Amino acid sequence: MPTQFSHSLTSLDAFAPRLLAWFEINGRHDLPWQQHQTDAPNPYIVWLSEVMLQQTQVTTVLPYFARFMTSFPSVQDLAAAEWDTIAEHWAGLGYYARARNLHKGAKQLVAVIDESGDFPQTLAGWEAISGVGPSTAGAIISMGLHRYGVICDGNVKRVQTRWAAIDGDITKSATTKELWALVERLTPIENSGLFAQAMMDMGATLCTRSKPACLLCPLQDDCLAHAQGRETDYPVKAKKQPKPSKFSNALLIEDTDGKILWLQRPDNGIWGGLWSLPLEFVEKISGKVAVKDKTLSAVTGNQLLEVASNEKIYETEFTTAEQIINEWLNKNKLSAKSVSNTLLDDSPIKHSLTHFHWYLTPQSVTLNDTQATEITKALQAAEININWLNADDAQVTLGLPRAMVKIFE
């Protein structure tokens, strides 16, 4: 019987039994979201963990998952929660669109349950939920419902590209199709959930990115990358272009009581729905940039206005609230001053996001009571959600992105 795959039928058929035997003895069986040891699996727990685990390591996710399960033990609890509460629980986990999709998805799931009496039971049903793609849906079906489902996440792709020496760029659709075809061929009809967990464990604990433990691997005998001594050449991925750099001032606008002005970010865009200091855009630089102490001092006043005078840049880089604040500060001839907390006073705080590096320079502005009232009214008139809180209270009560926490560390 002909096959499109590089391995023999014997190797293809032996893949799952070897992997499952290894997983039974060496796999992780104590993760709080695992459902393979229960006869009545809970798809809510699997869905929640899968969303959190997207682009995030298990050790990072564990405390967040525990907090969510304590506060939102059911999907109905999550759907009924206020966004600010969810944002506070998620703060620091990154990729904040996931939290938005989680909240929206919870509401969608409750609607499905109210109508049908249960969670979605099909791949298509789960893929209709916000933030759930084919691999996440496969994980929920296989691990959360104990039905046949297939996953093809980053760990699975790494194991497969090495075992089969797949040298196509994994960012390309043709390679994606090849990987899905292979994992569908390898996944057993029975115990697909166990197989999915075993594949994830293999990638996370043995077939790791930089130092794969090939001597402990149950698949080493017919792993093509291992036979060639080229394990770390896979998966093949096009070299990333250097990230651009973006520079902004983070304004600590304080009132006479030492309380700081906080803005809730727009739902769309970076840090959607979270709380942030007002930001003053300074400049963007393409590609890599060398940042040395005292070479990137704060850019305020006229220098800022020269950049901001470009209308498109102004509208793109300043939220509505930040435009109001920027114009109000200039109108009142108030300029920010550098915050001196460390020996590296002139060195901005670097925060790396998916598509760019962000350099944030803390700047302080103190307002009198009249000014604080005036700027508050200006923002409230534009229906901007604001808060006046000191740094400690803000970190406890508001959902802050990690970059804001860095500023106060």
| 147-181 pLDDT per residue, tens | 999 999 999 999 999 999 999 999 999 999 999 99
pLDDT of residue 285: 78
pLDDT of residue 309: 45
Predicted confidence (pLDDT) at residue 3 exceeds the cutoff of 70: no
Confidence of residue 356 (pLDDT cuts 50, 70, 90): confident
Domain over 245-407 is classified CATH 3.30.1490.20: no
Confidence of residue 89 (pLDDT cuts 50, 70, 90): very high
Each residue of 243-282: pLDDT tens digit? 888 889 999 999 999 999 999 998 888 888 889 999 988 8
**Within this chain, domains 9-233 and 245-407 share the same CATH topology:** no
Predicted confidence (pLDDT) at residue 30 exceeds the cutoff of 50: yes
Each residue of 10-24: pLDDT tens digit? 889 999 999 999 999
Each residue of 159-168: pLDDT tens digit? 999 999 999 9
Predicted confidence (pLDDT) at residue 340 exceeds the cutoff of 60: no
CB 170 within 8 A of CB 180: no
Going from N- to C-terminal start, the domains of the chain cover: 9-233, 245-407
- Residue 180 CB: number of other CB atoms within 10 A? 19
Each residue of 195-215: pLDDT tens digit? 999 999 999 999 999 999 999
Q: Tell me which residue of 121, 113, 158 sits closest to 137, measured CA to CA.
A: 121
Predicted confidence (pLDDT) at residue 302 exceeds the cutoff of 50: no
Each residue of 101-136: pLDDT tens digit? 999 999 999 999 999 999 999 999 999 999 999 999
pTM above 0.75, yes or no: yes
Predicted confidence (pLDDT) at residue 283 exceeds the cutoff of 90: no
Confidence of residue 312 (pLDDT cuts 50, 70, 90): low
CATH architecture for segment(s) 9-233? Orthogonal Bundle (1.10)
What is the token pair recorded at 35? 């459902």
Q: Could you give the residue numbers annotated as active site?
A: 50
Confidence of residue 291 (pLDDT cuts 50, 70, 90): very low
Q: Are strands 337-338 and 357-366 parallel, antiparallel or unpaired?
A: antiparallel
